[in-house]
Chains A and B, each alone.
Chain A
Amino acid sequence: MSYILPWRTGGLLLGAVFFAAVLSVSPIGVSTQFVIFDGILWDAVDPDVVVDSPDAKSGYSSPNAYLNKSGGSYAEDVANPLNYSFVFVLAMMAGAFLSSRLRGGLSPNERVMPAVWRANFGDSPVKRYAAALIAGFVVLYGSRLAGGCTSGHMMSGMMQTALSGYIFAAGAFLAGIPTALALFRKES
């Protein structure tokens, strides 16, 4: 438990990071990069997914309506992955990796599933991985429908007093709390 920061310190640092982002570039967001990565893979298989288009605002266009929206801004990011938001997410993963190495990493049991899952649903990795796969699908479909996730809507949105941020947070907790109360009755 020693490595977990008290909420006051943790909140102060988290707030400082979100402030640093808006001070220097733009608010933090993550879920868009799942689309960009999908686009990169798709474009590798089918080069016609993102094409140069001098008429588009971004200079790129796509036959996919989602990549093509807002003047092809997602198509542009797929064509140029070395952009701020994509590198940000890669660096975020590197930062978490470094932190976990410095605190000695995880136990083999914890790597497979968290203790609270084990207490409620048993030791089967297949069950846990299947649940995580389906949950990931629902989370990213929902995030893209909403136009942001916990970082972009909940944290960045509410810190800027964005109406959309409050609406998103209300939806997330209205669904998340009853789901967790129903599924996880044993603590660990």
Chain B
Amino acid sequence: MEIVLAIAIGGAFGFVLDRVGATNPGYIIRMLNLSDLHLMKTILSGIGTASILMFAGLLVGLVDPGHVSIKAAYLGVFIGGLLLGVGFAVAGYCPGTGLTAAATGRWDALWFILGGLLGAAAYMLSFAWVETTGILENIAGGKTTLGPIAGTDYPSLIGVPGEWIGLAAGLAFLAIAWLLPDRLTGASTPTVRAPVE
């Protein structure tokens, strides 16, 4: 059954990534150089929508709290984020969009994937050393959420019920998506969309 769900949800995810423009590195680069915030608005409203549905689902008992899965916070999360950000801007690909872009027929994405496999292998080989540096030690409690989520053991930063904070955060993401302009740089010329293929 899980495999059927993997095929259905994974397939839908890939299809939607293509239809929002995320498999086109032009859209990602133009999001990051702030000349076309289409994808930024899409991602923020996607997070907001998912957050509201999930926390509403937790409140009414539709979502199993056992499915909530929080990753640990440690200094390496920030450093890793910085590294991803640099490569994300140069290539216009992240791991998921690189794989889906290759599936749409982009050859540069194949080179990105090859580099990615080498980078992941380099991490596998250097993991034991990275661990000795201490940057993998948990900070702020590790697998921490903003507020406590009922039915889970995750630590939280503040005492207000996590479901309500989650709904508020979801609305905030939608509001930011709504309020962001179409572009922040080069506003003297109209937004030039990447060519359509």
Write the B10-45 contact mask toward A (1 if CB under 8 angstroms, else 0). Answer: 111111111111011110011011110011011111
A58 contacts the other chain (CB 8 A): no
Closest A residue to B79 using CB positions: A145
Write the A136-153 contact mask toward B (1 if CB under 8 angstroms, else 0). Answer: 111111111111111111
A168 contacts the other chain (CB 8 A): yes
Query: Which of A7, A64, A90 counts the most B-chain CB atoms under 10 A from its CB?
Result: A7
A-B CB proximity, top 8 nearest: A171-B81, A15-B49, A136-B115, A146-B80, A142-B83, A11-B45, A95-B14, A175-B85
Inter-chain contact A148/B19, CB cutoff 8 Å: no
Closest A residue to B130 using CB positions: A145
A45 contacts the other chain (CB 8 A): no
A44 contacts the other chain (CB 8 A): no
Contacts of A2 in B (CB 8 A): 196
Interface residues of B in 55-90 (CB under 8 A from A): 57, 62-63, 67-74, 76-90
Inter-chain contact A14/B29, CB cutoff 8 Å: no
Question: Beyond A11-B48, A23-B63, A168-B77, is A163–B115 a contact (Cβ under 8 Å)?
Answer: no
User: In the complex, A94→B8 CA distance in Å?
Assistant: 11
Closest A residue to B37 using CB positions: A7
Inter-chain contact A92/B99, CB cutoff 8 Å: yes
Contacts of B113 in A (CB 8 A): 136
Cβ-neighbour of A129 out of B9, B80, B111, B195 (below 8 A): B111
Inter-chain contact A106/B81, CB cutoff 8 Å: no
Closest B residue to A129 using CB positions: B111
Interface residues of A in 1-59 (CB under 8 A from B): 1-5, 7-8, 10-28, 30-31, 34-35, 37-39, 41-42
User: In the complex, A144→B76 CA distance in Å?
Assistant: 9
Contacts of A89 in B (CB 8 A): 10, 96, 99
Cβ-neighbour of A170 out of B38, B71, B81 (below 8 A): B81
